[in-house]
Amino acid sequence: MAKEDDKTLKRDDKAEEGEETCCDSPKISQEDGYYVCLNCGCIYSRVLDNSPRRAFTRDEMLRRKTNERIYSPIGPRTVIRGNKDAYGSLLSPKYKSKFHRLGKIHRSLTTSFERNLWIALPNLQRLQKQLKLPDYVAEDSIRIYTQTVKEKLTMGRSIDMLLAASIYAAIRVHGVPRTIEELVEVSQVKKKKLLKSFRLICLEIMPKFNLKIKRMTPSNYVNKFGEELQLSMKCRKQSIDLIDKVKKQGFFFSGKDPKGIAAAALYICSKLFNEHRTQKEISTLANITEVTLRARVKDFKKYGNLI
């Protein structure tokens, strides 16, 4: 009874002070920045922060700076090794053992997985710029490479080789017209070992991401070669139409390099539109021989009824 009398007295005091009461037993709480009664749902007012503002002292600013991480989360950037200081002077035995111990502690701050990505990520950004790859291809490349590191497929294989194979796998998944020769040139790895690592990724990694390799068609290379040869859009479109025409006429592309078919179509259409390009120029760009180019031109003339 005494508690109920106290509540009624408080409510009466609020009424005398001009404050409105929402219900018989208001239960005020802070919800989403408002004072709300949990019993009836009445909203009183916003929650305002009345705490006084103050400036941080110099000591507090220094303490805050030392507590914040200002380096990359992927491993340490400083390399502590050797028996010389920054000026090239020899270290004393005391400082040499001290820095040797500091180097061991410094290297043990990260795992082998982090150190691997620390080396691979800058190389991936460099290859992306040189090959002019879109961001979604680079993202899938690092996903594939990260999984290869987790599966410990890096044992006995170099980082550059597996990274190049991961980029080539992402290129084939999205159907981006980049040849393996271009990737070999910029990554400076051997083509045979790159293909071997690519097959390993296709067997071990690609099924886990439900990714499938797309077959590159001659039409994928027409725009790429046409842009580098500075051919008009009419010539490129006519090349694609010519490829579709000979395919319907019975020219089978299986077993033939799609780069050679695209190069032959561009060579024929460049003559039709008086945008002449030499056989050597086109074959060098497509990375095929002139003999292959002439053979594909004969096939086009045979199935496309060209003179």
pLDDT tens-digit readout, 16-69: 444 556 777 788 887 777 888 877 878 777 777 666 666 667 676 666 554 444
Output the pLDDT for position 162: 93
Q: Does the domain made of 112-209 have the CATH classification 1.10.472.10?
A: yes
Question: Does 112-209 match 218-303 in CATH topology?
Answer: yes
**Structure tokens, 167:** 């980029």
The answer, as to whether pTM is greater than 0.95, is no
Pick from 214, 216, 197: nearest CA to 286: 216
User: Which CATH superfamily includes the segment(s) 218-303?
Assistant: Cyclin-like (1.10.472.10)
Q: For the residues 94-112, what does the mean pLDDT come to?
A: 76
Question: To the nearest whole number, what is the mean pLDDT of the chain?
Answer: 80
Place of tokens 């909203």: 43
Q: Would you list the domain boundaries of the chain?
A: 72-110, 112-209, 218-303
Tell me the three state secondary structure of residue 75: coil
Contacts 24+ apart (CB under 8 A), 140-146: 140/170, 140/173, 140/174, 140/211, 141/166, 141/167, 141/169, 141/170, 142/166, 143/209, 144/169, 144/170, 144/201, 144/205, 144/206, 144/209, 144/211, 145/120, 146/117
pLDDT tens digits, 210-253: 888 888 888 888 888 888 888 889 898 988 888 888 888 888 88
Place of tokens 């025409």: 245
Q: For the residues 100-123, what does the mean pLDDT come to?
A: 78
Output the pLDDT for position 64: 58
| Phi, psi angle pair for 245, to nearest 5° | -65, -50
Counting every residue, how long is the chain? Answer: 307
